[in-house]
Structure 1
Amino acid sequence: MRIPHIYQPSDLVIGDAIDLGDDAAGHVARVLRMGEGDKLSLFNGQGGEYLATISAVSKKKVQVIPEQFIDKQVESPLSIHLGQGISRGDKMDFTIQKSVELGITEITPLFTTRCGVKLSGERLAKKHQQWQKIAIAAAEQSGRNTITTIHPPISLDEWLAQSSEALKLTLHPRAEHSIKTLPKPEHGVRFLVGPEGGFTDEEMAATKQQGFVDIRLGPRVLRTETAALTVLSALQLEFGDLAL
């Protein structure tokens, strides 16, 4: 039976009992229905994981004792930052969840001209918090020991203006380049995917002005949530750990 993999954002010390955070405790006690003496795998995002035993369970608290550190590394050698035009409904949630499973390093949700999602103030803060929780849950499910950073949403222009030495890519169905023709990214990859309506001509021109290269993924036009995952899979296969 697979030992549950749980994120605990605090220092973990062998032999020192610790109370799990509220979200983790609720998942362990109420969803997984685990009890005293059961085993967990804990990680805090600082590398590796800890084999731990549950020492006490109540309605509101789960106490565990880390017993063994395992220097397990499952991160891709390729750093990838996705700039994703915010999509409607649960499409953005799906993109974040599956991107984390595929080893994405960072995601920045982007407001674009054709973005149909209107968020600001408290609603925007809550949505950002929700997206980060989705990333944490996906890391737990996929056995990662690092949490993908979900940056607060910003405008496309702000993201394009950020300084980076990474290979910069924009997905476009009529592009001349494919992933097979790209040079090996020595400083990681930043790639850009538009929302449901795609990018405007002005936005595409702005990406080129900032050094982004258009790439295609074959003759078919992909939905926004399919496109991001396909690019990520292709990059991992060509340059990352899916090639192993």
Structure 2
Amino acid sequence: MQHFFVTPDQVGDKEIWITGADVNHICNVLRMKIGEELKISDGNNQNYLCAVEEMTKESVRVKILETFCTDTESSCRIVLFQGLPKSDKMDWIVQKSVELGVSEIVPMATARAVVKLDEKKAKKKTERWQAVSESAAKQAGRGKIPEVKQVMGFSEALTYAGTLDHVLIPYELAEGMEETRRQFSSLRAGGSIGILIGPEGGFEVEEVGKAMELARAVPVTLGKRILRTETAGLFVLSVLSYLMEP
């Protein structure tokens, strides 16, 4: 069944109005018909089974057939701070992170990041990544669309990470899998967790120290093998999904 997101103000007592890019997708790409059913989420874990009632160039009106809540969100708020990777790797990271339950994604400019984005390029990239997040949220049947924040400098990202309950920084020089297990075991549902992931070249030693000082980040090892930037965050998200989801 096709899945779409709206904002709560688009939801009425008996009907929902769909606007924006989804109108073209419904009418011209999917070629949906009057009476055809679809699922709609309001971004607050409220879902609706609906049937198409009216279609115009500007909007699609659907009738609410059934209202139900969803339980697809993680029991904790997970924020992925991702060092800017090369090429289109960020698209893949956003897509898979959303599938694995991430709550927010913060693209992060670090010392060893090859990619350098000016304000205009950063804005355009963020819009693209947000669209990828929405598409992945639909595919995964999530009740919310994870927000992709504007690109942050490293210090700004650490300030934001410092507001979270726990911050982990996978680091290739960290040792002791037992300590990593202890850190993961200490995490509790209902809290907030930040994951700091470096770019292809990893973090500089000074950056790790700064993260520990400003964001109370705890360095952890992810095992004997060095993981790529596009793999490390997903590894941590997979572990958290296993530990936190009932």
Structure-2-length-normalised TM-score: 0.90
SS of residue matched to 1:147? coil
Task: Give, in whole Å, the separation in 2 of the partners of 1:165 and 1:93.
Answer: 25
CA distance in 1, matches of 2:101, 2:195: 14
For residues 48 and 83 of structure 2, the distance between their equivalents in structure 1, rounded to whole angstroms, comes to 36
Once the two structures are superposed, the pairs formed by residues 15-164 of structure 1 within 5 Å of their partners are: 15-18=14-17, 20-58=18-56, 61-162=59-160, 163-164=162-163
| Kept after mapping to 2: 8 A contact 1:177/1:214 | no
Q: Distance in 1 between matches of 2:139 and 2:157?
A: 29
The CA deviation at 1:59 is 5.2
Q: Secondary structure of 2:15's match? A: coil
Which of 184, 195, 203 is equivalent to 1:191?
Answer: 195
3-state SS of 2:219 partner: strand
The alignment partner of 1:117 has SS state of coil
For 2:95, the aligned partner's letter is Q
Count of aligned pairs = 238
Q: RMSD of aligned C-alpha atoms? A: 1.7
CA distance in 2, matches of 1:177, 1:50: 47
Residue in 2 that maps onto 1:175: 174
Query: 1:8, 1:58 → 2: CA distance?
Result: 17
Greater mean deviation of Cα atoms: 21-30 or 52-61: 52-61
Letter of the structure 1 residue corresponding to residue 91 of structure 2: D
The 3 A distance-change label for structure 1 pair 229 and 17 is closer
Q: Secondary structure at the match of 1:161?
A: helix
Structure 1's unaligned 5+ residue stretches are none
Shift of 1:166: 1.4
Q: 1:176-230 CA distances to partner (integer Å, 9 max, x unpaired)?
A: 2544221422422111000111111211221122321111111111111111111
Matched, 1:214 2:219: yes
- Name the SS for the 2:25 alignment partner: helix
Deviation at 1:133, TM superposition (A): 1.1
Q: Percentage identity across aligned positions?
A: 33
TM-score by length of 1: 0.91
Residues in 1 aligned to 2:24 and 2:221: alpha-carbon distance in whole angstroms: 43
Distance 2:28 2:231 in 1: 33
Q: Give the gaps of 5 or more residues in structure 2.
A: none
CA distance in 1, matches of 2:19, 2:85: 30
2:214 aligned with 1:202, yes or no? Answer: no
- Number of the residue aligned with 1:13: 12
Return the letter of the residue paired with 1:188. S
**Counterparts of 2:19 and 2:206, CA distance in 1:** 46
